[in-house]
Amino acid sequence: MLTSPAHDVAERPPTRARRSRRATVVLAGALLLLAAVVAASLLLGVRSVDPAKVWTALVPSAPGHDLGDPDQSVVAQLRVPRTVLGLLAGLALGCVGTVIQGVTRNPIADPGLLGITPGASLAVVSAVSFAGVTTPLGFVWFAFLGAALAALVVFSIGRAQPVRLALVGAALTAFVTPVIALVLLRDVNAFNQYRFWAVGSLTGRGLETAEALWPFLVVGVLLAAVLAPRLTLLAMGDDVARALGQNVGLTRAMAAATIVLLAGTATAFAGPIALVGLVVPHAARRLVGTDYRWITPLAALLGPVVLLGADVVGRLVVPGSEIEAGVVAAFIGAPVLIAVARGRSVAGV
C-alpha cells in the first residue's frame, strides 16, 4: 500500500514517541535491576548476613551499629568497597564499550581488541618487576597509565579509521603479549603478584582506589554522554555525518579521549575484565534500538548489573569459596557473544 509524504510525516512523531516510551521503560527496568544487584552484593556471599545487620552496618546512627560485630564488619569493610568498585568499573566498561563500538563501527570492538588491556597489563608487570610495586593502589596508577598510553598509540597510528584501528590494536597486542610472558618467566615475584590482578576481580581493593580515580571516571562518562548523539550520526557513515553538519574529526578526537579515560579507569579498578564492554552494548542495542542517546545510558546501567551480578554469582557458585568476577563474566559473556555472532551470520550481516 502506497502512502503519501504527508501521511508518512504524520506517522513519524507517534513512532518516535513509542520508541521513547519503550526506551524509558527499559531504562527504568534496568535501574530497578541494578538496585536489586546492589542489594544482593551487600547481602549475599560466603558468609550469610541478616538484612537487618546489613542496614545497621550501613547506617552509623542506627541502633546497634558496631563494626566490631563480625557480620557488620564484613558488610562495611569488605562488601561495601567491592560493591562500589563494581558499580564504578561496570559503569566505565559499559560506557567505553559503547563508545568504542560506535566510533569504530565495529560490533566486536572492546578495550582488549584495541590493545588497551594488554597495555595496562604490561605496565602492571613492569611496575611489579622493576619498581617493586606490591599494593593494589600502586597497581592502579600503572594500569591506568599503561591503558592510556596504549590507547594513545593505537589512535595516533590508526588515525580513527575503523579497520586500521583494529589492525593496530591487534598488532600491539601481538607485540605486548610475549613481552609480558618474558618478564613473568624471569621474575617469580612478578608472576605471583600479576596473576591475582590479571584474573579480574573486585576484591583486594579498598575505597581509596575509588577516591583516587573517580575524577577520571566522571570526565569520561560526561564525554560519553556528549558523544551519544554524535555517534548516532557517525553510524550512518562519515559522509552523512558531515552532510548533517558534524565535525567528524572532532568527534573521533573526543571519542579517543573518552576511551583513554574510561578504559584506563575500568582496568585500574578491577583488572582486565573480559567481554563486559563487548556484550553490554549489544544488549542495549537489542533493547532500545540504534540511537546512542538511549544506548549510552542503558549501557551505563547494564555494565554494573553484569559485573556485580558476576561477582555475586562467583561468591555463591562454590560453597565456602569464591570465583573471581572476571572468570564468571567470561563464562557469561562468551555464550552471549557466540549467540550474537550466529544471529548476525544468520541475518547475513
268 CB-contact burial (10 Å; exposed 0-12 / middle 13-18 / buried 19+): buried
pLDDT confidence of residue 160: 63
Q: Which domains does the chain have, with CATH numbers?
A: 80-342 (1.10.3470.10)
Grid coordinates belonging to 62: 542506627
Phi-psi region of 176 (alpha: psi -120 to 50; beta: other; left: phi over 0): alpha
Query: Cα 14 to chain center, whole Å?
Result: 34
Which residues are CB-contacts of 195 (< 8 A; sequence separation ≥ 6)? none
pTM for the complete prediction? 0.86
Tens of pLDDT along 317-344?
A: 887 778 888 888 888 777 777 776 666 5
In the chain, alpha helices (H) = 5-43, 51-58, 70-73, 80-104, 116-130, 136-158, 162-186, 188-198, 207-234, 238-243, 248-270, 276-288, 292-316, 325-347
Amino acid identity, position 129: S
Q: How far apart are CA 187 and CA 127, in angstroms?
A: 12
Q: What is the pLDDT of residue 226?
A: 94
Q: In angstroms, rounded to a whole number, what is the distance separating the alpha carbons of residues 231 and 292?
A: 6
Write the CA distances from 148 to 46, 113, 122, integer angstroms: 36, 15, 12
Q: Are 213 and 265 in contact (CB under 8 A)?
A: yes
Say how far residue 113 (Cα) sits from the centre of its chain. Answer: 14
Furthest C-alpha separation in the chain: 75
CA angle centred on 12, ends 9 and 17, rounded to 5°: 150
Cα–Cα dist 39/202, whole Å: 16
Q: What is the pLDDT at residue 13? A: 53
Note the pLDDT of residue 246.
Answer: 85
The mean pLDDT of 60-88, rounded to a whole number, is 85
Altogether, the residues listed in the chain come to a count of 349
Looking at residue 221, its pLDDT comes to 95
Burial track 146-177 (b if 16+ CB lie within 10 A, e otherwise): bbbbbbbbbbeebebeeeebbebbeebbeebe
Q: Which three cell numbers stand for residue 150?
A: 596504549
Give every CB contact of residue 75 below 8 A, 6+ residues apart in sequence. Answer: 42, 49, 53, 54, 57, 58
Q: What's the average model confidence in pLDDT over 231-256?
A: 85
The three grid cell numbers given for residue 287, joined into one nine-digit string: 533493547
Say if residue 11's pLDDT is above 80.
no
| pLDDT for position 343 | 60
Residues 212-242: tens digit of each pLDDT:
888 889 999 999 999 999 999 888 887 888 8
- What is the secondary structure of 133-172 as a DSSP string? --SHHHHHHHHHHHHHHHHHHHHHHHTT-HHHHHHHHHHH
DSSP state of 76: I
CA distance 197 to 201: 7
HSE on the CB side for 110, CA within 13 Å? 22
